[in-house]
Chain A
Amino acid sequence: MPLNIEPNIASPDDFYEALLDAHRDLTHDESDALNARLILLLANHVGDIEVLREAVAEARTSGGKPVADSAQRHSTLLKRHP
């Protein structure tokens, strides 16, 4: 199953508001921590490593910064023999 990048959120404005609400009154550090927990929770929900890799690559290229291949160094080495 490839990464779904077509519109898929049923109520986009509600989601966006909920995301920003979650960060209200938080310090920058607390917001960073919340984002990290959120990513981990969503990643676990997705589960499929290929979809997750695609999402990571998509996030990295869509930001306008060139991609270095070092991010996959260990995963490539270990993929052969999990």
Chain B
Amino acid sequence: MAVDYQQLVLPYRSPAQCGDTRGTRKPVIVVGAGPVGLTLAIDLARYGTPVLLLDDDDKLSTGSRAICFAKRTLEIWDRLGCGDAITERGVSWKVGKVHVGDRLVYAFDLLPEEGHRRPAFVNLQQYYVEGLLYDHARLQPNLDMRFRHKVVGVEHSASGVRVDVETPDGRYELGADYVVACDGSRSPMREMLGLPTRGQTFRDRFLIADIRMDADLPIERRFWFDPPFHPHGSALMHRQPDSVWRIDFQLGFHADPTAERQPERVNERLRRMLGEDAKFELVWCSVYTFSCMRMDRFREGRVIFAGDAAHGVSPFGARGANSGVQDADNLAWKLHYVVHGDAPERLLDSYASEREQAADENIAHSSRSADFLTPKSEMSRIFRDAVLSLARTHPFARRLVNSGRLSTATTLVNSPLSTPDADPFAGAMVPGAAAADAPVTVDGKPDWLLRHVGGRFVALQFSDGAEAIERPTMPSVASREAEVRLPRIDRLLVATSSSKAPHEPNAIIDSDGLLAARYDARPGTTYLLRPDQHVCARWRRYDASALAAAAARATCNG
């Protein structure tokens, strides 16, 4: 391997070397270069908005930390041009198995159907993810990254934000139109602004141990309740690259974190699990507790919060980093439109409302899992144990066993940016849903739908070639209402059969019919997709003025 991402020291430049002129005002400053901040900064830069990324450190993630990256997250990184690098470096999986005692009681397949470019999940150490995102970020011309530039003060008003930045060579001051805090669960930005975050901390402790071990085990998520090697607790095992395995033990609230971290103690637990003769090397370990909480509002004027700074969940659904990357995906285009003058500032309120609702959904799932793993009351424990005892013999009870419900793309239900259906549709692609991928053919070559949408508004128009294809003459809404601005909409034609493929560049051939099936599409069906690939409207026939109105609504220009 060429780069050791755990040892990589990110380059420091003194304020003098950064070349700011006095009174410099940046369009957007992103604080925190973790997976969320890096994703957001890359996305903004690719849209064409200059972005400054500040981080107080010059190292990537210490230890593996977040390791499970979901299909939707990979699709977002695909849109940014670094999905291949991350997917190829990781270990793909889709099957989870739950054991009670020494018996397998439940298995789930997170992606049972064929015809998707990306797997349900990729496991990859967080420092690889950050390293690969950083490598990609360095290629972006609009992106300025400053490491060991720590934000120590922030003030904001209706007209702008001012931050104080501390470096080894002294302090300096910067102005910005908008600042996005992606500075993690302890968010200094949140603290400096005195903004509350609320929720519950679960009274339990867990030990994470990453070990290097050559073992010929299936690549699956394996979970145990009350296993013989760890009675009364739960355990979780995940595969990572480089022959590294993540093992997680539930310790109980009264465990001593310092004692439990001692390598002898950890190794003893591991030997009980893996056998006295197992050969392994402890790579990293940590003892943690978790909370489910979120800020009241993700937008505070010109300061916006994303990722763990805004919301926290338990690790068992892989909903932390994955929801944070979805935050970035949701926010980047909106900030770009607002900074660019293509949408009013209230478009940013839709970031807050959409992602607050997503956080509520993630927290609800996470709290349910936590209530199952760590029963909070005597009766809660009695029911949990009854479920586990029935699960050994009764299939119905296995569906009640909750070892974590894993992250899927959030459907932005009731989004103010969506146009409600007027025509009848079936299936999952409701307004607010993240567009499903499907295998297609473009220019005679196998391809994927999601490679062709996103980054701009796209009208996906299904046609069988029989009807006359209406040319996308966007009506000038400005002629009706002077102040309405319309985003550019690219039209993408989907031909339902290759024999009638239209003579149009970039036409997509739905060679397997999967695209039409997943979108419940018939000839004439038209979907409007947002720059973040979420559905914002759909119709049974192409209607240019309906399309224009939906796009105006999706940018708060309606």
Stretch touching chain A among B310-318, B389-397, B497-505: B389-397
Contact A33 B364 (CB under 8 A): no
Say yes or no: is B166 at the interface (Cβ < 8 Å to chain A). no
Q: Name the distance in Å between A81's Cβ and chain B's nearest Cβ.
A: 5
Q: Confirm or deny: B85 has a beta carbon within 8 angstroms of a beta carbon on chain A.
A: no
Chain A residues contacting B365 (CB-CB under 8 Å) are 78
Interface residues of A in 28-49 (CB under 8 A from B): 32-33, 36-37, 39-41, 44
In the bound complex, how far is the Cα of B368 from the Cα of A40, in angstroms? 17
Complex contacts, B400 vs chain A, CB 8 Å: 40
We find that the number of chain A residues with CB closer than 8 angstroms to chain B is 14
Which of chain B's residues have a CB closer than 8 A to the CB of A74?
Answer: 364, 367-368
Q: How far is the CB of A42 from chain B (nearest CB, A)?
A: 11
CB-CB under 8 A from A40, the residues of chain B are: 383, 386-387, 390, 397, 400
Q: Which bracket fits the contact residues of B?
A: 20 to 34
Once the chains are docked, how many angstroms separate the CA of A36 from the CA of B413? 35
> Contact check: which of A37, A77, A80, A81 meets B390 at CB < 8 Å?
A37
Cα-based distance from A32 to B382 in the complex (angstroms): 7
Given A33-B382, A36-B383, A44-B396, the answer on whether A77 and B360 have CB atoms closer than 8 Å is: yes
Measured between alpha carbons, how far is A37 from B389 in the docked complex, in Å? 8
Within 8 A of A (CB), among B475-514: none
The verdict on B260 contacting chain A, using a C-beta distance below 8 Å, is: no
Q: Are A33 and B361 in contact (CB under 8 A)?
A: no
B362-385 contacts to A (CB < 8 Å): 363-365, 367-368, 379, 382-383, 385
Within 65-82 of A, Cβ neighbours of B (below 8 Å) are at 73-74, 77-78, 80-81
Partner pick for A80 among B383, B386, B413, CB 8 A cutoff: B413
Give the residue name and chain of the A residue nearest to B432 (CB): A81
Closest A-chain residue to B363, C-beta based? A77
Query: In the complex, how many angstroms separate the beta carbon of B242 from the nearest chain A beta carbon?
Result: 37
Cα A35 to Cα B387 in complex, Å, equals: 12
List B contacts of A44 (CB < 8 A): 396-397
Min Cβ gap A5→B in Å is 23
Minimum CB–CB distance from B17 to chain A (whole Å) comes to 49
Known: A74-B367, A74-B368, A81-B413. A33 touches B390 (CB 8 A): no
20 contacts between A and B (CB under 8 A): A32-B382, A33-B386, A36-B382, A36-B383, A37-B386, A37-B390, A39-B383, A40-B386, A40-B387, A40-B400, A41-B390, A44-B397, A74-B364, A77-B360, A77-B363, A78-B365, A80-B361, A80-B414, A81-B361, A81-B410
- Not counting A41-B394, A80-B414, a sample of 12 additional A-B residue pairs whose C-beta atoms are within 8 angstroms of each other reads A33-B382, A33-B386, A36-B385, A40-B383, A40-B387, A40-B397, A74-B364, A74-B367, A78-B365, A78-B368, A81-B411, A81-B413
